[in-house]
Amino acid sequence: MTPRTLYRRIVDAHTVRALGDAGQVLLYVDRQVLNEYTSPQAFAALHAAGRTVWRPAATIAVVDHVNPTTPERNAKTMVIADAERSLQVRMLAENCARHGIALYDMLDARQGIEHIVASEQGLVLPGMVMAAGDSHTTTHGAMGALGFGIGSSEIEHLLATQTLVYTVQQSMNVDVRGRLGFGVTAKDLVLELIRRIGADGATGHVIEYTGEAIRALGVEGRLTLCNMSVEAAARGAIVAPDDTLFQYLHGRARVPQGVLWEQAVAGWRQLRSDEGAMFERSVSLDASAIAPMVTWGTSPDQGATIEAAVPDPAQEGDATKRRSALRALEYMGLQPGQELDGLPISHAFIGSCTNSRIDDLRDAARVLRGRRVANGVRALVVPGSTQVRAQAEAEGIAQVFREAGFEWRQAGCSMCVAMNDDHLGPGDRCASSTNRNFEGRQGPGARTHLMSPAMVAAAAVTGALTDVRRLLPSDIAIPAQAGIREP
């Protein structure tokens, strides 16, 4: 048999049948997560056609996009004033009740951002196929699974049939040699990759990450990496499972226990690309050469190291990229040649499915300990889930954020996508641990600079974009799980 990539092996293991000869298959999907804003239209179509849900136990539902993140959480604060958003949440509850789907609603102790909750609960296991009505479903590749985002029509298809009509993608290998340096995180790695290959660099491909730097990353760092791979247009991003992952999974709510666990791990150890498997594309990066990154533009590929200056669009040879850069600089209020280090900010935001897990909060807290948010900066931290929030409180991290002057809020997508009441105003400039610096993403006219949580913390306390390495204790020399490990 021809050697296959891990991606192809997962696809083949989920192929119910080939459909025609143009490369499509009917793909069985093991898990789905629903949210409140992309699922109501799918249920409406399902009901209009008189159909039902194929396998309700394969699905969970989470309220995450429109819920408030007020610091207090109770039946009085978790009320949505906006009638339309409130209806979305109510319809999710009704649809879940009608079809017997588990719902983690706004007051549930398991509530949080769908992609944080799924891995935290052990919902997605190695070798699975996972789909959800959210583009950042690529996140789950960190579990040695295939995860990808779908639209509402596909959600309907999945609810009704537990399958998707799937176009098999090409395979791309991103090999990362060496180790990430002091103060450099998975976020910096993925921002460098996107800068290098472009926002459409992985179009039509599923990435498999390999190499020493990937093995050295903790699971939460891998989740960040796979999450943001979609910003390079990847249709999936996979890290082959290993002991680091098995340790992370063991004992989680939805993970098999006992004999079944032993059987499962034995099976999962076989999940890797075959020797000699061909990748249609390969990219190689040297982890040790990567520095902390920030974006200067309005596309995730418009990034640079914190040591760099804003590039001059006139030096860009490609006309389309030149026009994009010019428009981005105008929107961002920046001049070519301006230093990024020292650029004043008005807001700092730590949150999102990319960077709001416990390791992310620990990284930021290390920078914040004993420091205060600069005058004139509003700083928010929105933990990725209610469980992450509780853990951070138990570890004393919440106290570090509060003492530094951060707002310590409840879990949700919040100011990453600004679909609830958390948003920026026109001209606000935000250091943000999120995934998209698109025009208007965090609010109309708002200016977003993407970076790691530790870099956001550094910007919050200095009031300007700052190289976090200047603020870290010099005895922390080893790069980390998500980021920066204690010595």
Q: Could you say which residues in the range 178-207 bind another protein, by CB under 8 A?
A: 199-200, 203-204
CB of 395 to another protein, least distance (A): 31
Q: Which stretch binds another protein (CB under 8 A): 12-20, 180-188, 285-293, 449-457?
A: 12-20
The H-assigned helical ranges of 312-380 are 319-332, 358-368
Nearer to another protein, 300 or 383 (CB): 300
| CB of residue 303 to another protein, shortest distance in Å | 13
Question: Closer CB to another protein, residue 175 or residue 428?
Answer: 428
Q: Which residue has the tokens 């956001």?
A: 456
Using the rule CB under 8 A, which residue among 96, 116, 418, 430 binds another protein?
A: 418
Chain positions 336 to 355 lying near another protein, rule: CB under 8 A, are: none
The answer to whether the beta carbons of residues 379 and 405 sit under 8 Å apart is yes
**Contact pick of 165, 289, 477, 478 for another protein (by CB under 8 A):** 165
Q: Should residue 288 be labelled a site residue for another protein when binding is judged by CB under 8 A?
A: no
C-beta of 155 vs 216, nearer to another protein = 155
Q: How far is the CA of 303 from the CAs of 90, 213, 380, 440, in angstroms?
A: 40, 21, 23, 18
Long-range pairs for 214-219: beta carbons < 8 A, 24 or more residues apart: 214/176, 214/239, 215/242, 215/244, 216/179, 216/180, 216/479, 217/180, 217/186, 217/481, 217/482, 218/244, 218/248, 218/359, 218/480, 218/481, 218/482, 219/119, 219/142, 219/143, 219/244, 219/245, 219/248
Among 5, 32, 38, 229, binds another protein (CB under 8 A): 38
| CA dist., res. 437 & res. 435, Å (int) | 7
Asked whether position 299 contacts another protein by CB under 8 A, the answer is yes
Out of 61, 63, 117, 127, the only residue in the binding site for another protein (CB under 8 A) is 127
- Point out which span in 16-24, 97-105, 185-193, 359-367 binds another protein (CB under 8 A): 16-24
Nearest approach, Cβ of 327 to another protein (angstroms)? 7
Give the residue, chosen from 1, 2, 17, 50, that forms a contact with another protein under the rule CB under 8 A: 17
> Within positions 141 to 160, which residues make up the interface with another protein, using CB under 8 A?
149-154, 156-157, 160
| Vertex 175 angle, CA 173 and 180, to 5° | 145
One-letter amino acid for residue 57 of the chain: A
Pairwise CA distance, residues 297 & 333, whole Å? 10
Q: How far is the CB of 213 from another protein (least distance, A)?
A: 26
Span 454-483, contacts to another protein by CB under 8 A:
none
Structure tokens at 237: 């991003």
Give, as ranges, the residues between 215 and 254 that touch another protein (CB under 8 A).
Answer: 233, 235
Single residue of 9, 33, 37, 368 touching another protein by CB under 8 A: 37
Near another protein in 428-447, by CB under 8 A = 436, 438-441, 444
The span of 255-263, 306-314, 454-462, 472-480 binding another protein (CB under 8 A) equals 255-263
Contacts with 72 (C-beta within 8 Å, 6 or more apart), sequence order: 410
Instruction: Work out which of 60, 128, 184, 277 binds another protein, going by CB under 8 A.
Output: 128
Q: How far apart are CA 153 and CA 309, in angstroms?
A: 44
Residues near 347 by Cβ (< 8 Å), separated by ≥ 6?
A: 377, 378, 379, 380, 424, 428, 429, 430, 431, 432
Q: Identify any residues that bridge with 240 across adjacent strands, giving them in sequence order.
A: none
3-state SS class at 197: helix
The distance of Cα 344 from the centroid of its chain, to the nearest Å, equals: 26
Angle, vertex CA 186, rays to CA 142 and CA 484, nearest 5: 115
CB of 379 to another protein, least distance (A): 23
Q: What's the min distance (Å) between Cβ of 165 and another protein?
A: 6
Closer to another protein by CB, 271 or 484: give it: 271
CA 41, CA 44: separation in Å to the nearest integer? 5
Contacts of 212 (CB under 8 A, 6+ apart): 176, 177, 178, 179, 287
Determine if 320 is a binding residue for another protein (CB under 8 A): yes
How far is residue 144's CA from residue 245's CA, in Å, rounded to a whole number? 9
374 scored as a contact of another protein (CB under 8 A): no
Q: Given the complex with another protein, which of 164 and 461 has the nearer CB atom?
A: 164
CB-based contact 162:54 (threshold 8 Å): yes
User: Does 260 interact with another protein (rule: CB under 8 A)?
Assistant: yes
Task: Figure out which of the listed residues 111, 162, 356, 385 binds another protein, where binding follows CB under 8 A.
Answer: 162
| Binding window for another protein (CB under 8 A); candidates: 14-22, 183-191, 337-345, 369-377 | 14-22
**Which of 199, 278 has the CB closer to another protein?**
199
Of 153 and 288, CB closest to another protein: 153
Q: Residues 50 to 89: which contact another protein by CB under 8 A?
A: 51, 54-55, 57, 66, 82, 84-85, 87-88
CA distance 269 to 182: 31
Report CA-CA distances (Å) from 403 to 268, 385, 408, 457: 44, 21, 10, 13
CA 208 from centre of chain:
16
Q: Which residue's CB is nearer to another protein, number 79 or number 260? A: 260
The count of chain residues that interact with another protein, using the rule CB under 8 A, is: 77
CB nearer another protein, residue 8 or residue 235: 235
